[in-house]
Amino acid sequence: MRGERGLTRFPSVPERLFSDDPGDAPKKVKGAFFSDYTGEFPMPRVLQSPAEASGGTAADDDAATSDKPSRRAAGPAPAWLRTGRPALHELTRNRRHALMALGGGAVALGALGTGAAAMFGPVSADPDDFVKTGSGGGNVSPREAGSFSNRDSSYTSGQGDLNDLGASGTADTPSQAAVAAMRATPRFPTPLNRDPVLHLLRRATFGPTTADIAAVKQMGIDAWIDQQLEPDKIADPLADAALKAVPTATMTTADIRSSVKDGDNKPMYELTRAVLARQMWSSRQLFEVMVDFWNNHLNVTSPFDGGWDVRGPYDVGVIRKHALGKFSDMLIASARDPAMMRYLDNTSSDKRNVNENYGRELLELHTVGIDGGYNEKDVRNSAYLMTGRTATRDGTFKYDQNKHWTGAVKVLGFQHANKSAKDGLAVGDAYLLYLATHPSTARYVARKLCVRFVCDTPPQGLVDRLAKTYQESGSAIGPVLKVLFRSLEFWIATGLKTRRPLENFVATARVVGTTPGADTANALEDMYNFTNKLGQPPLGWGPPDGYPDVATAWSSAAGMLETWNAHRAFMQQQWKGLNNPKADTLVTQPAATLGTYLDVLSNRLIFQPMQQNEKDALIKFMGAKADTRITDNNLGGKLPLLAPLILDSVYHALR
């Protein structure tokens, strides 16, 4: 994966990813490798001596020049490492300590990504091996070189696949699967209410609302899912109203170029506001969840240098158009889109000077993944196949046959003579279709969907089931989601996902009932600026791999505090220009005592009562007793301080 782009293309990296790094970390160590390594985690292959990488010692370096890659078998993870996220977070922290011990050189090496892992993997006796067809560094796959399957796996590698959640298999309908899962005992207890309606809305929307709960109960689970899978048939009045505040977000490139000055990033910023608006207010919630999923999978950061006139149309014509369609269509569309060409530098790739960025990301991030087994020769040939695809100055896609590299190519199982430059676009499309329907792509996409909808380390059986459906349907996503919702693993996984900062922010807006108002444009700008403080602005992840989707990546005290501040901003009506319900309108049922009042308020905000010890803490905060009589729904002005404490709880943090 590509290490860096221009500095102006990257917003700040979320502080939570580095908040536990010690400020007094050692900058140097003696010796060529880790002199103070404690053995607390497996040393990355790229940082081992050649002999150590093949199971020997540093003293065996001279003998470690075998022309075959050596892979040392790994034993089972120790018990403490398998216990879950807290131990894994410690593992991640120790890894950072070790990298800092190497100093700047390690950081630079780490930034080279999987290409460096492959290139610096096994050592060959032939110095020219990189350009030959033997078994040297250029022909070693990132998987053989020791790379993680994907970025999120680097956070969850110590947990393994949770192959037993307490129930598995498929039912004929989602509702039948939900009933079967309710009869089973979850292997991992959760503090959340296991009501299937709530669970579905926590996963298939950006957060339950009272209106959504009523709709699912009225329609039934099966009918609600079927309706959500046909978003074009769902009226969307609130989102449509909000989008009027960000008109360039849905414009074509031509309209953008005639509406703003050249290079003006306003359309990209309005797109990020539109993402917020749709996630908070759209009635097509499952569709928006999938749009978010694909925007991370085929990530094109917004804003990015050169994207002013093309990033919005990419969202409309690639992501949103195909979000519930076939992935093969989406992939081919992305490879003919000027935003992707500019973002991954394919505009600077031609037959004389091939840029490998896009060719590499096609394999590593967009399709087969590292477990697909590709090597550096495959990356090079992938880049050859994509030469000629570029973007014009007026923001349109163009295939320039004069820039296309010709000659025989082979990537994994795809081979083509590639003799004619004029046929290069069609050859590239055939290659993309091959990648989109490859078994490794099926597994890669299926696993990411399971991580999104089920848990951070999903059961392999569920992944295989979804991958099989993906292949049988020709990469159609709708059938895959239908199997997912008919799977018992989905319904028994209550509470096994943690809301990321943006998800928590949006879920708060939805449950409180904030809606578009008199100055939605300025309010959305204020909200966007707040998500920057959270570390997760919409579409704001700079590298091409999209935002992390596992809890450990977002663990930090600073991130938690900002999330809590967001709860107070909503409950204390800080978003000027929107319709912000007053806190005292949340409790519509009569409550005679404070204890009863807290139950009603909890059911309104987190859809379940809190534990008695948690209620006792809130009552103590109020300076009252459980049987204190309620005469004022606003609790004497204390409700805007009390309600956020309920949203601060684990019940709102998990989904």
For the segment 11-41, what is each residue's pLDDT rounded down to a tens digit? Answer: 333 333 333 333 443 333 333 322 332 333 3
* 3-class secondary-structure state, position 259: helix
- pLDDT confidence of 587, banded at 50, 70, 90? confident
- Return the minimum-mean-pLDDT range out of 110-124, 192-206, 262-276: 110-124
Q: What is the DSSP string of 174-223?
A: HHHHHHHHHHSPPSS--SS---HHHHHHHHHSSS--HHHHHHHHHH-HHH
pLDDT for residue 406: 97
Percentage of the residues of the chain whose pLDDT score is greater than 70 = 77
State the Cα–Cα distance between residues 366 and 229, nearest whole angstrom: 23
Percentage of the residues of the chain whose pLDDT score is greater than 90 = 71
pLDDT (average), residues 407-429: 97
pLDDT (average), residues 480-484: 98
For the segment 634-644, what is each residue's pLDDT rounded down to a tens digit? Answer: 898 899 999 99
Q: Which residue has the higher pLDDT, 650 or 75?
A: 650
State the Cα–Cα distance between residues 97 and 89, nearest whole angstrom: 12
Q: Which residue has the higher pLDDT, 515 or 5?
A: 515
pLDDT (average), residues 67-79: 37
- Return the minimum-mean-pLDDT range out of 19-23, 400-404, 582-586, 608-612: 19-23
Has residue 456 got a pLDDT over 80? Answer: yes
* 3-class secondary-structure state, position 48: coil
Has residue 484 got a pLDDT over 50? Answer: yes
> Residues 207, 212, 213, CA angle at the centre, nearest 5°?
100
- pLDDT confidence of 133, banded at 50, 70, 90? very low
H helices of 398-438, where? Answer: 424-436
Has residue 467 got a pLDDT over 90? Answer: yes
Contacts (Cβ under 8 Å, ≥6 apart) of 535: 12, 13, 14, 15, 16, 17, 501, 554, 559, 562
Has residue 114 got a pLDDT over 80? Answer: no
pLDDT (average), residues 115-136: 44
- pLDDT confidence of 589, banded at 50, 70, 90? confident
Name the nearest CA neighbour of 619 among 593, 637, 586: 593
Given a contact cutoff of 8 angstroms between Cβ atoms, the answer to whether 137 and 118 are in contact is yes
Name the nearest CA neighbour of 331 among 274, 284, 382, 373: 382
Q: Write down how long the chain is.
A: 655
Has residue 591 got a pLDDT over 60? Answer: yes
Has residue 58 got a pLDDT over 70? Answer: no
pLDDT (average), residues 125-154: 58
pLDDT (average), residues 401-405: 97
pLDDT (average), residues 375-400: 97
Q: Which residue has the higher pLDDT, 148 or 104?
A: 148
Has residue 393 got a pLDDT over 60? Answer: yes
pLDDT for residue 10: 33
For the segment 497-540, what is each residue's pLDDT rounded down to a tens digit? Answer: 999 999 999 999 999 999 999 999 999 999 999 999 999 999 99
Has residue 8 got a pLDDT over 80? Answer: no
- pLDDT confidence of 159, banded at 50, 70, 90? low
Rounded to the nearest integer, the mean pLDDT of the chain is 83
